[in-house]
Structure 1
Amino acid sequence: MPVGKIESLDHDARGVTRLEGKTVFVEGALPGETVEYALFREKPNYAVGEVSAVLRPSCARVPPRCPHFGTCGGCSMQHLEPTAQVAAKQRLLENNLWHLARLKPEQVYNPIYGPTWGYRHRARLTVRMVESKGMLVGFHEKRSSYVADLHTCPILPAHVSDLLVPLRQLFVGLSIRDRLPQVEIAVGEKCTVMVLRILEPLSGADEKLLRAFADEHGIVFFLQPKGPASAYRFHPVDGPDLSYLLPEFGLEMRFSPTEFTQVNPGINQMLIRRAMRLLDPQPGERIADLFCGLGNFTLPIARSGARVVGVEGLKELTRRAEENAAANGLAANVSFGVANLFECTPKSLGALGHFDKMLIDPPREGAVEVVKALGEDSPGRIVYVSCNPSTLARDAAILVHQKGYRFSGAGIVNMFPHTSHVESIALFEKA
């Protein structure tokens, strides 16, 4: 087996080394280590392998806490000490910005990070009956469509992790156990919801089992017979709704279990605090919140007294945002619109009117059409929240090299500890 010295981590948290002039990505290897590895994929320009032995370990290597690490595909960095994970993600962000955009921020912000266990309040788990193993409930195995045989998951809240085995026992007793492919979990301030994706109706006995399980474990079951919009509350019928709090801004944000919210509520609060500090919204200013979702940033901005226009591509989310604005007494400060921002043009953006400032929080695809559409009347300050360093770099290049903005600062947000996912926040100001 080949032996290599690991130079760095790539965007999937794989160690990078070289073999006969070819780049090799080694799963399970850390920078600075000397490892023996086995190749399982070879291409003309690169190869992929997996560690078979660590000959000289990194001082940042730690024993993984989860017994399923290495098999389950939910985490890829548990073998790296948490603060070293943060540093690796910061380097990845800076490398993307330099290599893809030839940019360095004027200031590198202190990273935002917090507790590394029990943080994941949203999860989508696969359910599958396997003859040799029984009923499985979990994430997919690494590099596989198979379901990991999970008995515990320390990145989930403890009360949810404790239900993995009872859920297996529950599902195996249902008449539709082969027609229940997925359970989606959403943990709120006042309740925990599990959405069961069902491909056939429940029997009367199934309904009785679900009600008893929900009552015993204090959860709420939703049923989803078709798409996400078809999900409905099954049992208990009455009780508190899902919500998360933004106490710094006096906000309670209600949401449906199938609507997008950040998985890590503690880090989300810190991210919003950072975004508000960088945006610095003032009473009377007119501010745009693009890709606004259900108002996660819109309502904190509105709390400052600014007038906010939120734009989102999904009508269901803008409806939820309007409900949250009204429930929090901010309806007079905000307005919401539905638009496909991936097809944004100078004309469609200009039709929204002048904005003093703008916050952009796009999905992984980034906001290239938005930044290309900015004209001479563009906002004086833009805060960009990103979940993909490469598309942030692409859009930052346009803002700086074509639109005349200064790249005032950037830093990472460790929203997903133990995974390779890199969230970040950046500030652009008119020169």
Structure 2
Amino acid sequence: MARQRQRLDPDFEIAIDGLTHDGRGVGRRDGKAVFVAGALPGERVRAKQTAKNRHFDEAAAFEVLEASADRVAPRCAHFGTCGGCVLQHLDEARQIEAKDRVLTENMARIGHVEPREWFTPIRDAQWGYRRKGRLSVRWVEKKAKALVGFREQDPRFVADLTECHTVIPAVGQRIPALSALVESLEGRRTIPQIEFIAGDGALDGGEMAIDGGRESGVLALVFRHLEPLSAGDREKLADFAKREAVAVFLQPGGIDTVAPLWPEHVDLHFDLSAADVGAAEGVRLQFRPLDFIQVNAGLNRQMIARALDLLDLKPGERVLDLFCGLGNFTLPIARRGFDVVGVEGDAGLVARARQNAEANGLPNVRFFAADLAKDLSGEPWMRDGFDKLLIDPPRAGAAEVLAQLPLKAIPRIVYVSCHPGSLARDAGFLVKERGYTLLGAGVMDMFPHTAHVESIAVFERR
């Protein structure tokens, strides 16, 4: 028997008294919680129901009857449709307060711990900060149009963007040009995404052109295509790259199939200055177009400085850096003169981290490839002694690796997190089961105008 579609209620009026962790307003209707997109605490709105669930309903505000004093006009015309960011209508100072509250609530509810000190949030540029990301592409036959953008709030659809203010201007101002480019291709139906990543330096001695102006750095665009592109399409993509002074790569399959179309050789790197790493010299990190790098360059520099400060390194100490990637923290620690071991699950990133260490003249750093969610008893680096631990895990956290480490020998841990729930869980484990004190924790605004919460915490053995 076919499943019947749930009947949704008509429009209704509701008072909002809270904010969810994903940036929606929270109200109650007939005693049932309702999560309302586009609504803020202290407001009364008219909303349209979008989904029914057993314990809560979902809705979207379409009229604000009583506005919050914290409401601001969204900068982007696509706010409310595009799912790329959900907090543009909330004052920037209140945004960081909301993220602070998410971290606080997770620590209390999940970890049942509280730090001795809540750190002042780290913030940087609020707009034009995102140097890496993925744009979805969809050819709409009926409109004879290529949509290029992030997913809508309903992720089944691609937002029809004309601009984006959170990505770097070299991308945000080129979205119409990218749409027109895809529309001109014979293979437009077979291109599902365009990834972008930007580095320091310049492209063949030039710079990225944007509306007659110039922006320093190299922008790489990776066009994913499900079928081989014709010679004519490849020529159009190469012409676009030359005209716009960007690097274009093609990806016909997995990540190992990414290859440059134009120019043939592209220098992708970012620099951390001597001041960034607290040493006499800085470091340079080379990367490939699909490698993971922190999306917010300015925030990343501040994050590295805070992490190294919290490590409180003393002469002769040895450091273990887990989930080290390209060496974002590892190389600055080595530049300060400390012996450091970096471990990462992606063998390709490990290979490039080793190349980065060699290129920067850092013999005091070693890198290993290992799946940190599996048994590590046979890993050679597990037998080494370490004085400090820095850990920067993915959203799932670090429960598996923390349970295996010889933590009694490690007096201090700095934990960088991209998910407050997994950080809170792991904090509870370290404090309640491994004898650590949570000295401090705080948020870092890596993704302004989104509900994403990046944070950092420091633990010391009692």
The answer to whether TM tops 0.5 is yes
> Residues 353-392 of structure 1 correspond to what in structure 2 (within 5 A)?
353-375=384-406, 377-392=408-423
Separation in structure 1 between the aligned mates of residue 182 and residue 425 of structure 2, nearest angstrom: 46
Q: Which AA in structure 1 matches 2:443?
A: I
Q: Which amino acid aligns with 1:282?
A: K
Post-superposition offset of 1:259: 0.7
Quote the residue 2:150 is aligned against: 139
Matches of 1:203 and 1:95 in 2, distance apart? 54
Alignment-derived partner of residue 418 in structure 1: 449
**Is the aligned partner of 1:316 residue 2:348?**
yes
- Alpha carbons 2:47, 2:61 under 8 Å: kept: yes
The answer to whether the 8 Å contact 1:281/1:304 transfers is no
| Structure 1 residue 346, shift from structure 2 partner | 6.5
- What is the deviation of 1:353? 2.1
- Equivalent residues of 2:15, 2:43 under 8 A apart: yes
Q: How has the CA–CA distance of structure 1 residues 225 and 408 changed in structure 2, closer, same or farther, with 3 Å as cutoff?
A: same
Return the alpha-carbon distance in structure 2 between the equivalents of residues 381 and 153 of structure 1: 41
- Alignment of 1:71 with 2:97, yes or no, is no
Query: Quick one: distance in 2 between partners of 1:91 and 1:211?
Result: 48
Q: Output the amino acid matched with 1:383.
A: V
Counterpart of 1:7 in 2: which secondary structure?
strand
Determine which of 334, 338, 346 is the counterpart of 1:306: 338
Partner of 2:269 in structure 1?
A: 243
In structure 2, which of residues 175, 187, 190 is the aligned counterpart of residue 176 of structure 1? 187
**Ranges in structure 2 where 5+ consecutive residues have no aligned partner:** 1-10, 202-217
Look up the equivalent residue of 2:58 and give its one-letter code. V
Identical counterparts, % of pairs: 47
Q: Which of 254, 259, 281 is the equivalent residue of 2:313?
A: 281
Q: Judge conservation of contact 2:170–2:219 (CA < 8 Å) in 1.
A: no
Aligned residue runs from structure 1 range 171-320, under 5 A: 171-190=182-201, 191-238=218-265, 240-247=266-273, 248-249=276-277, 250-320=282-352
CA distances 1:358-392 after superposition (whole Å, capped 9, x unpaired) = 00100000001122224453310000000000000
Q: 1:214 to 1:320 in 2, by over 3 A?
A: same
Higher mean displacement: 202-211 or 226-235: 202-211
- Counterpart AA for 2:456: I
1:166 aligned residue: 177
Structure 2 CA distance, aligned partners of 1:388 and 1:39?
A: 29
Report if aligned partners of 1:282, 1:304 keep a CA contact under 8 Å in 2. no
Q: Comparing 373-382 with 246-255, which one deviates more in the overlay?
A: 373-382
**Which of 46, 52, 60 is matched with 2:70 structurally?**
60
Q: Name the SS for the 1:420 alignment partner.
A: coil
Letter in 1 for 2:421: S
Root-mean-square deviation (Å): 1.6
Counterpart amino acid of residue 239 in structure 2: A
Q: Deviations over 1:145-192 (max 9, x none)?
A: 211111111112222222111111111111211111111001111211
Q: Which residue number in structure 2 is paired with residue 101 of structure 1?
A: 111
**C-alpha separation in 1, matches of 2:377 and 2:46:** 54
Report the residue type matching 2:341 in the other structure: V
Answer yes or no: is the 8 Å Cα contact 1:345–1:369 preserved in 2. no
1:283–1:304: 8 Å Cα contact kept in structure 2?
A: no
CA distance in 1: counterparts of 2:397 and 2:85, whole angstroms:
24
Question: How many positions carry a matched residue from both structures?
Answer: 429
Contact kept, 8 Å, 2:376 with 2:382, in 1: the verdict is no
SS in 2 for 1:12: coil
Q: Give the drift of 1:90.
A: 0.4
Q: Is the 8 A contact 2:318 2:388 kept in 1?
A: yes
Q: Distance in 1 between matches of 2:311 and 2:407?
A: 20
Residue in structure 2 matched with residue 151 of structure 1 by the alignment: 162
**1:117 aligned partner:** 127
The alpha-carbon distance between structure 1 residues 427 and 376, as it changes in their structure 2 partners (threshold 3 A), is closer
Amino acid aligned to 2:57: A
SS at match of 1:90: helix
Q: Report SS of the residue matched to 1:86.
A: helix
Instruction: Write out per-residue CA displacement over residues 58-100 of structure 1, whole angstroms, 9 at most, x where no aligned residue.
Output: 1110011100111111111110111111110001100110111
Amino acid at match of 2:22: D
Give distance in 1, aligned partners of 2:341 and 2:124: 31
